[in-house]
Amino acid sequence: MSRLDLVEASLLQMDKKCVRRGDRITAQCPAHDDREPSFVASTTSDDAVLFHCYAGCSGASIMEALGLRWDQIKPHDRRQQMFRRPRDPSYDECVCGIAEADMRQGKRLNQKDLQTYRQSLLRQHRSAR
């Protein structure tokens, strides 16, 4: 069972709407009353799970809601590393994915999210060259 399987299992157990596409999950956030899925989780190359709630739930509250421990979803040395750290390419992928999904649904991004989205987009373009 991969780390992402664990997250998926927890979400399903909580009756959250959850869509899995390969190494990526889009779901209703476990930590707040979520109607449109604003929670995204994805797997990095080293099999850590990165996740993000677009509504702004903290990592700790999400982990608590999922009933998981950090060491269950991240390799030991990365346990404290949060999704916010924009080093991992999958971070940018994730941010862009959520932002674009939101815009497709006609949601307006706030200033902060828009800025995060633009930075991720830029980094993605740079690394694609």
In the complex, which residues of this chain contact Zn ion (CB under 5 A)? 29, 31-32, 53, 55, 57
- Tokens representing residue 54 in the block: 């677009």
d(CA 47, CA 61): 22
Q: Cβ 61 to Zn ion, closest distance in Å?
A: 8
**Of 12 and 122, CB closest to Zn ion:** 12
Other residues' Cβ atoms within 10 Å of the Cβ of residue 23: 16
Task: Count H helices and E strands in the chain, helices first.
Answer: 5, 4
Q: Cα torsion for 97, 45, 58, 25, to the nearest 10°?
A: 50
Between 48 and 66, name the residue whose CB sits nearer to Zn ion.
66
Radius of gyration in angstroms for the set of CA atoms belonging to the chain, rounded to a whole number: 14
Minimum CB distance to Zn ion, residue 33 (Å): 9
Strand partners, 39: 27, 53
Shortest Cβ 51–Zn ion spacing (Å):
10
Nearer to Zn ion, 39 or 91 (CB): 39
**Which is closer to Zn ion, CB of 41 or CB of 48?**
41
Residue type for position 21: R
Shortest Å distance, C-beta 26 to Zn ion: 13
